Structure 1
Amino acid sequence: MLNSCELEELYKTELKAFKLWMKQAGYTSSTQKEYLREASAYLQSLSGIDVQEAGKLNVIEFLVAKQENTNDRTRNRTLSAIRSFYAALIDFELSSRNPATEVKKSKTEKNKKPVYLEEEDLVRTLAFVDGRYRNRNLAIFLLMSYCGLRVGEVHRLNLNDLRKTRRTIEVFGKGRKWNEIPVPDVLMSVLVEVERERIVPYREKEEAFFVSQKGKRLSIRQIQKIAEQTFAAFKTEHPELSDMRLSCHKLRHTFATMLLRNGVDIRVVKELLGHSSIETTMIYTHVNDDQKKQAMSTIKIPALV
């Protein structure tokens, strides 16, 4: 087995390319660290084999070796890291194919229903968005719940990404793709007010739309805390939802669910969410108990006696 120094030396170019690729793609610092750790562990498993010579079998062997101590979600995230690693190598012309794309994700995790808030509960949470910079916090919460932005996309939002004339925002999302999202009028008014109240940044050239009280770009962790504090206050008033695991990403789930329940074409939902595959969007096509009851009420069983 290679030690860390030998690994770094043998795959120096590949690891450097992956680091640059993730940074350029706008991956969060925590994702970069995790993906780099997974890629290094994968390279360790190759035992000196050239990356280009490794194939689907090598990827599966690595996943199976980890499988005993991990759940489906962790396995799928490891697979995503390896896929991204090879995508970086292809981008830098260090590899001609991505064997990890030939490996299927765990069906158990893939078919797991997303956690989401009912629309009326989402509306009620808005009353609990608070803090010294309430308008800023409210705008952040609304962007995730009524525009479907990921926490990283909110973090990366810059001043020039708000297109007031077009009434849209330009979102830099996964896969280094830009996505133009129409902004509802109520949210646009809040965003304009946030821009007006924006603290003068510590750095003169700071372009961040959301700035902390210290004049720096609001971090992902700070954004998560805003959501966590809102949910904690909401659950205190609504203990019946205390067991529901709510987070920034659950707001995105709620957004997708609302659109589909309102009859929006799934292809449009896919584009709004910035998904590369419609299969990813399909996980939001769940139904609730009321919809099941309504469907069953249309069934007419004839009298048998």
Structure 2
Amino acid sequence: MISFTEDYDDELDAFLIWMKDAGYTPHTQKSYLADVREFLMSLNGKKLESVKKLHVVSYLTSVRERGVSDATRNRKHASVNCFYKALMELEIYNSNPAAGIKKSKTEKNREPVYLDESDLERFLSAIEGKYKGRNLAVFLLMSYMGLRVGEVHILNISDYNKERRSLRVFGKGRKWRNIPVPEGIVPYLNIALEERLEPWRLKEEALFISQKGRRLSIRGIQQIAADTFERFQSGVPAAQRRPYSSHKLRHSFATMLLRKGADLRTVQELLGHSSIQTTTVYTHITSREKEEAMSRLRLQLPQLRNELS
């Protein structure tokens, strides 16, 4: 297959510089570049200044026809839109053909998959291996402090303030937030620091280090979670297993807080959501809670006529 992306090397380099300057995480930079390269391949060598909205829509249509989810299609759209936005800000081009294209409608009413507190305890007990202390701290930050995988990945030692018992987190939208560390998590975080692996680079500030001596990667965290969830559900028939992932620990945190009466705005701040509408997805009600609510009804009904008499 002929690659046309080399025709756009200057623009791709400019986009990468723009993302770095804007503070995008290495993971986001990599994902956006991959999406944009795929888009550029679809142009078959067409000059960027002659690209119209039709070409972007055509690319997004081909993406959908491959069977990807609406969320993935929307992410690829966001990548291309961001690419053109960067080139406009850098005064390389003066129009954005990806702007104004409607997002795909995602399934907003789907109930999030989450673990309740007893399930969380069993999940954490399923953590095994040589680096159990590190992995336990990682998943405690996600399940009891609501951190995203990417946020755990970029944590540095200096982000943890032992005296104030707080964690400084760099989240989506390039925004910082301070989260109080629950008293019960402090010992586990301290142990993870004491057992921190020797980094390959002398000045590596990452809080969590992989066995290769590098910053623990997003993929590494996801794989450790997948292995742990596999053990967690080992006794469950395959057809009844739930689609758990590392991100579901964040769902669990939000659900627990709201069930315990936490204010929606506070939960929004802790999760680092830019819009409170995003937080409302966690206000779902379980079947058990519906049954409990219905059981409180005291029915005062007329006696039924005995049809057989």
What TM-score, normalized to structure 2?
Answer: 0.83
- Asked if 1:290 corresponds to 2:288, the answer is yes
- Once the two structures are superposed, residues 244-296 of structure 1 have per-residue CA deviations (whole angstroms, 9 ceiling, x without a partner) of 11111111111111122222222222221112222222222211002222333
Q: What letter is aligned with 1:64?
A: T
Instruction: Return closer, same or farther for 1:95/1:228 CA change in 2, 3 Å cut-off.
Output: same
Indicate which of 60, 79, 82 corresponds to 2:80. 82
Indicate which of 51, 55, 66 corresponds to 1:69. 66
Q: Quick one: distance in 2 between partners of 1:203 and 1:33?
A: 22
- Once the two structures are superposed, residues 39-76 of structure 1 have per-residue CA deviations (whole angstroms, 9 ceiling, x without a partner) of 2343456643528x855x65444323432222323322
Q: Quick one: distance in 2 between partners of 1:146 and 1:162?
A: 15
Name 1:124's counterpart in structure 2. Answer: 122
Report the more deviating stretch, 179-188 or 32-41.
Answer: 32-41
Q: What letter is aligned with 1:109?
A: E
Name 1:228's counterpart in structure 2. Answer: 226
Specify every segment of 5 or more residues in structure 1 that has no aligned partner in the other structure, as ranges.
none
Q: Quick one: distance in 1 between partners of 2:251 and 2:89?
A: 31
- What SS does the aligned partner of 1:171 have? strand
- Asked if 1:18 corresponds to 2:15, the answer is yes
Q: Is the 8 A contact 2:49 2:93 kept in 1?
A: no
Q: Quick one: distance in 1 between partners of 2:90 and 2:111?
A: 37
Name 2:306's counterpart in structure 1. Answer: none
- Once the two structures are superposed, residues 126-156 of structure 1 have per-residue CA deviations (whole angstroms, 9 ceiling, x without a partner) of 1111211221111011011111111121111
Name 1:48's counterpart in structure 2. Answer: 47
- What SS does the aligned partner of 1:194 have? helix
Mapping 1:162-173, distance limit 5 Å: 162-173=160-171
Report the more deviating stretch, 182-191 or 85-94.
Answer: 85-94
Instruction: Return closer, same or farther for 1:261/1:105 CA change in 2, 3 Å cut-off.
Output: farther
Q: Is the 8 A contact 2:145 2:253 kept in 1?
A: yes
Indicate which of 133, 141, 144 corresponds to 1:143. 141
Larger Rg, first or second structure (1 or 2)? 2
- Once the two structures are superposed, residues 19-53 of structure 1 have per-residue CA deviations (whole angstroms, 9 ceiling, x without a partner) of 23444534344x544422322343456643528x8
Q: What letter is aligned with 2:25?
A: Y
Instruction: Return closer, same or farther for 1:172/1:98 CA change in 2, 3 Å cut-off.
Output: farther
Name 1:263's counterpart in structure 2. Answer: 261
- Asked if 1:185 corresponds to 2:195, the answer is no
Specify every segment of 5 or more residues in structure 2 that has no aligned partner in the other structure, as ranges.
304-309
Indicate which of 208, 215, 218 corresponds to 1:217. 215
- Asked if 1:37 corresponds to 2:34, the answer is yes
Instruction: Return closer, same or farther for 1:94/1:42 CA change in 2, 3 Å cut-off.
Output: same
Instruction: Return closer, same or farther for 1:190/1:156 CA change in 2, 3 Å cut-off.
Output: same
- What SS does the aligned partner of 1:247 have? coil
Indicate which of 204, 207, 223 corresponds to 2:205. 207
Greater share of residues in helix: 1
Q: Quick one: distance in 2 between partners of 1:122 and 1:255?
A: 10
Q: How far 1:157 sits from its partner (Å)?
A: 0.9
- Once the two structures are superposed, residues 89-113 of structure 1 have per-residue CA deviations (whole angstroms, 9 ceiling, x without a partner) of 4554556786756444333434433
Q: Quick one: distance in 1 between partners of 2:250 and 2:267?
A: 11
Task: Please list every run of at least 4 consecutive aligned residues from structure 1 whose deviation after the TM superposition is greater than 6 angstroms.
Answer: 95-99
